[in-house]
Copies of this chain bind each other. A is one copy, B any other.
Amino acid sequence: MAGIKDVAQRAGVSAATVSRALSGNGKVSPATRARVQQAAEELGYVVSFNASSLASGRSRNIGVVVPTVSRWFFSTVLEGIAGELISAGYDLTLYDTGGQEQHRVSVFSDLLLRKRLDAVITVTLKLSDNEVRQLASVDKPVVAIGGFIPEIATIRVDDFNTTALLTEHLIELGHTRIAFLGGSEEFDVDFKLTTARQDGFEYALDQANLEVRPEWLLAANFTTEGAYRKIRSLLSMPRERPTAVVCASDEMAFGALLAARDFGIDVPGDFSVVGMDGHDLSELFGLTTFSQDARSQGIWAVRKILELLGERELERDPTDGFYPTEFIARSTTAPPPRP
């Protein structure tokens, strides 16, 4: 495999000049540059990343930490990140913690510190104070998507207010018996968004002088299956049923819709459902929801990182305030049935 010396020899210049011509750092005459490029092409020369990184201290490699890639939000954010990174000529090192504490520890103590990464993007990862300190001490740019992390630039939507608005939408339709389906305890390690959404829900009820009924505060694991099971058992209870449910994600809302269908309960006639995300399938399900553009959150995270690395200017700072969201009323919400 051709090395920089081979190219230098073929082009009749020094290795230093080859490096400068190919990287764009430093001045090289156009004629020389052309000769070098030609020689490199002929030899099929590709720079050794390891050698280049070692010598320069920069890796052109960004770490991305996600709790899982099998949920809509994460895979969509990841696609946005991946596309933007490829365009910028950066590598993407993926850390899927699988929600396992053990894997998170190794990610932080080892991988992130191995100097192979120029920067890190974390997605809805809740960090301990200690981890924040570790990240800070490494002195590499970090951008977080989803969960707020002190001292770190964060892209996030307004979980509290969007959920409150969704809840108010139901209240305005006349609902007074409203359930909430959030994430489970177990997942709160990584997905800290649950509490903000639940807070927004409770706030809206409170504003309307409606009581929060503990037995209607449900938790699943952000999956459609989990939600299906929870809503199924909610609907099968003999006692008084809620007439609507606020789900903390669209994927859980799908589970709620399927459960209602299997129970022969008419949506929205007998039961209203709202979600949160703007999942690709929300339109097919006719789901009323708040949409957030996950893909572009990923893209903007990369842009912010590149800015922090001094690669480019930012037209606007995505970590400034809340990321835009949009309320979309569709056909899973209606006034509650007459008693």
Write the residues of chain A forming the contact surface with B, with a CB cutoff of 8 angstroms.
1, 46-51, 53-54, 59, 61, 64, 68-70, 72, 75-76, 78-79, 82-83, 86, 91-96, 98, 103, 106-107, 109-111, 113-116, 138, 223-225, 228, 255, 258, 280-281, 283-285
Contacts and interface: CB of A to CB of B under 8 A. Distances in A.
Contact of A225 (B53, B93, B113, B280): B280
B46 A50 contact: no
Contact of A76 (B70, B111, B255): B70
Given A50-B54, A51-B54, A70-B75, A94 B82 contact: yes
Nearest to A109: B46
A284 B46 contact: no
Oligomer: number of copies: 2
* Most B-side CB within 10 Å, residue of A61, A64, A103, A116: A116
A225 B75 contact: no
Contacts of A46: 109-110, 113-115
A83 B98 contact: yes
A157 to B, nearest CB: 19
A281 B225 contact: yes
Contact of A115 (B48, B96, B110): B48
Given A53-B50, A93-B92, A255-B284, A75 B86 contact: no
Nearest to A48: B115
A115 B1 contact: yes
A54 to B, nearest CB: 4
